[in-house]
Amino acid sequence: MCAQTANDLQQRSQEQERRAQEALQQRQKTIPAPDVRLQKDGVEPEVRWLATESPCFPIQELALSIETLPQWSWLLSHADGHATLANPDPVEGRCIGAQGVQIVIDRLQNALIARGFVTSRILAAPQNLQTGRLTLQVLPGRIQEVRWAQGSGQRGSLWNTVPMSAGDVLNLRDIEQALENFKRVPTSEADIDIQPAQEPGFSDVVIRHAQTLPFRLSASMDDSGTRSTGKLQGNATLSYDNWWTLSDLFYITVQSELGAKEPGPRGTDGRTVHYSVPWGYNLLSVTLSQNSYHQNVAGANADVLYSGSSANSEVKLSRIIQRDAAGKTTVSLKGFQRRSNNYIDDQEVEVQRRVVGGLEWGLGHRRAIDRAMFEANLTYRAGTGAWGALPAPEEGFGEGTSRMRLWMLDANVQWPFEAAQQSWTWHSAWKAQHNKTPLTPQDRFSIGGRFTVRGFDGLSVLTAERGWLWRNELSLAAAQGTQVYAGIDHGHVAGASAQNLVGQNLTGLVLGWRGPYKRMQFELFAGRPLRKPERFKTATETAGFSLSVSY
């Protein structure tokens, strides 16, 4: 029975990893992450150098009028034209005339537009340039009113969704953020116009917003489980969009095994509830989930029923601290609690009871580079002993702790391109983990399976305290919006427990086909190991599928 319990612990860790990956994918499908980047009006800035003029005035100092400081002091660094010229072309120490003054004004105006201040202007008031000082003034373009367009706004709120108000300096970054807040609701449509106001130097921000039926229903099925608790897994999700007219999202997901399992009582089920709401550049989300499993195991004298349950709770607050025309940076703080209990014939195995509470700090960046999109997230997880946390059973042996300390990094790039008159996409993803304390199985890094290193059946994995994996995929656009793809993945694990493994590296190959069909999304794939430890048990070939439908 003890041997079975040890094997059962490893299986539960793998099941929890599978559940976590499925929950992440479900969240990404249910909660879109819109990326709004508004193009500025006009053509690219003209490349112009300061030239010799007559008459001209020697300029020793460039300054902004006192009314415009300190908010606009950053503009002075753009007077040399370094943003568009091969080499800086400073105005200080030069003799310039009317044309030179206009070139400097244009450079600062282009810098304003690049920062999103599309209605602000640079002016040169009458002045005596014989003093050697050129003083420029910023005329901020302000907002007179933020309002709904006629017939709009019945299912929307301005106070939390739009991060600007009357009197603010108009900036495209604020408008982009407002559109992202509106468009995070899949059943909503939104557009924003900038219209001249009655008062000079002011504009009205006019918002058109409409929402269809706020309910969405989706269901999915795949074969990511195991025969011990059910190879076929399914879930159904009901979403209520814009519940409180705050661009908020709510959904509930029910999960269950659908068959293809060994004989006897066995199975899995789970439930997830999520709610999130934006507030300007902030986003607050709450996620609660419960999962359970049971399986019948033949014992020496009688069958034994192994079962377990887990519950995860998290509250996360994130904020966009920087955004420009091509990217944005986000910081986040998450509080979490994880509970798990295991039973043998309905009697709890108390030494396996776990309660972990802690915090996660995150830093993320997303950037468009030409046609490519790059995204990276750095996370630090720390168990704090809060929220009823218990010491981990492994703490007595120095093999784990409920007060874990670990770093995690995720990075990926997606690059669409044209070659041989075909549309291709290269996608590369890198994931790594580094521990600062011993880790329990639930926090360790695992490789081998469809969610990590593809080409392996996932029945056996390599797990240790730290590691990394690299997934590479090349896809080709096929008929009716589908894609065929090929990928090579590699992963490595390390740490104190890695010395007990049969090896530390896995490399796998995958071929697949995915895409839409009517209301459905499908994926079919097959793969095989390319490199593995000699005693690592896995199928020589593996295949799988996933199918989802949405209404």
Q: What is the DSSP letter of 169?
A: B
Nearest to 546 by CA among 221, 257, 226: 221
For the chain, which residues make up each domain, given as ranges?
1-30+213-352, 57-139, 142-211, 378-551
For domain 1-30+213-352, give the fold: Porin (2.40.160)
What pLDDT does residue 3 have? 37
What's the rounded mean pLDDT across residues 466-476? 98
pLDDT at 295: 82
Give CA–CA dist 161/249, Å, rounded.
13
DSSP 466-521: EEEEEEEEEEEE-GGG-EEEEEEEEEEEESGGGGGSS-SEEEEEEEEEEEEETTEE
8 Å CB contact between 268 and 292 = yes
Quick check: helix, strand or coil at residue 509?
A: strand
512, containing H or E segment: strand 505-517
User: What strand order describes the sheet that includes 133-139?
Assistant: 61-64, 133-139, 121-123
Tokens of 4: 């079975």
| Predicted pLDDT at 300 | 67
> pLDDT tens digit string along 372-419?
999 999 999 999 999 899 999 888 888 899 999 999 999 999 999 999
Q: Which distant-in-sequence residues (6+ apart) come within 8 Å of 229 by Cβ?
A: 15, 257, 261, 266, 267, 268, 293, 294, 295
Please indicate whether the domains covering 1-30+213-352 and 142-211 agree at the CATH topology level.
Answer: no
pLDDT tier at 206 (50, 70, 90 boundaries)?
very high
Helix or strand or coil: residue 299?
Answer: coil
How many Cα atoms occupy the beta-carbon half-sphere of 8 within 13 Å? Answer: 22
Q: Quick: pLDDT tens for 512-537.
A: 999 999 889 999 999 999 999 999 99
Angle at 281 between CA 371 and CA 273, to 5 degrees: 95
Give the whole-angstrom CA distance, residue 172 versus residue 36.
10
Q: What is the pLDDT of residue 297?
A: 76
Q: How confident is the model at residue 284, as a pLDDT?
A: 98
What top-level class would CATH report for the domain 142-211? alpha beta
Is-contact 430 489, C-beta < 8 A? no
Q: What is the pLDDT of residues 350-381, one digit of tens each?
A: 888 899 999 999 999 999 999 999 999 999 99
* Confidence class for position 4, pLDDT limits 50, 70, 90: very low
Q: Is domain 378-551 given the CATH code 2.40.160.50 in the classification?
A: yes
pLDDT band at 5 (very low <50, low <70, confident <90, very high): very low
Question: CA separation (Å) from 265 to 173, 301, 331, 375?
Answer: 56, 18, 45, 44
In eight-state DSSP terms, residue 140 is: -
Q: What is the CATH number of domain 57-139?
A: 3.10.20.310
| 88 close to 145: Cβ distance less than 8 angstroms | no
Confidence label for 18 from pLDDT (cuts 50, 70 and 90) = low
Tokens 């030069």, located at residue: 94
